[in-house]
Amino acid sequence: MSSGAVAAANERRLTIARAMAEAIAQEMRIDPSVFVMGEDVGTLGGVFGNTRGLFDEFGGERVRDTPISETAFMGAATGAASDGMRPIVELMFVDFFGVCFDAIYNSMAKNAYFSGGTVKVPVVLMTSTGGGYSDGGQHSQCLYGTFAHLPGMKVVAPSNAYDAKGLMTASIRDDNPVIYMYHKGLQGMGWLGTEPAATVHVPEESYTIPFGQAAIVREGKDVTIVSVAMGVHNALKAADLLAAKGVSAEVVDLRTLVPLDRDTVFASVSKTGRLIVVDEDYHSYGMTGEIIASIAERDLSVLKASPQRVAYPDIPIPFSRPMEQFALPSPEKIIEAYEKMKGRRGWRWM
């Protein structure tokens, strides 16, 4: 994992939910323009726990529960940010973006450009992603590619609590709209089930993680596996399985999709010669294709075999648990992708 995720002498292990809440609280203490709003972010502390404790410390003026009207509070966040505030607004499920996308994409993302940079729009839009717990097709999508595709917004997707805190602090301090996408299965919420490896040591003091800097979370020499959020954990598990077969896999955690650290990915693939991209978002027109195109455009000759992608099939997410689990990316599917790559044997397979 990243250097900060390594267990420290005075280890303080936090879930991603607690790390996000801590980062927000620390920024609210030093900057009175920071406030939070959204559905159930107040006394409940957020359905996914990421605003827990904020209402008790800062009160209802700065931690505002809203009606179920995403268009209204996205518009309010954009207006407040344009007037000098730093709102953090929660879209409870990213799947609901459709009812408020005009406020996000035609106002929040564009106002800085339309004003020639004279109007800053420092909004953090935090939203849950991902499935795996049988919540159906309207509550289980990732949609990373949807937001990353559209200019004017930065997009982050942490895989562990250390990165979650540093990226949240950086997001709040940024003068541009930031879409902060947290995966439900990494939040540390017992009722959802959670990935234990996402809960790591988190320093108590405030810190930032710069956007556009991917992390090599496992070094290897035979194949590069690239992903974000939950996909990083699937990649690490696959790397363990590949190691048992004598294959050394390098795992790259992108951390942010916009800006995208193409240099780190290219350097890794230049070393290994093989590339697998893992994404819980849909297969077509998404992150997997963008990463592979980045390598092909720069220097196709670094590839020893055709790249592979492990992504969600282009279907609505099933409610049935067996069907959903069948469709989700997994360590086993990453192994299959490697074997498929090996079976095809490129022109320079060694």
Query: What are the residue numbers of the active site?
Result: 70, 139
List CB contacts of 96: < 8 A, sequence separation 6 or more.
70
Q: What's the farthest any 2 CA atoms get from each other in the chain?
A: 63
- CA separation for the pair 125, 75 (Å, rounded): 12
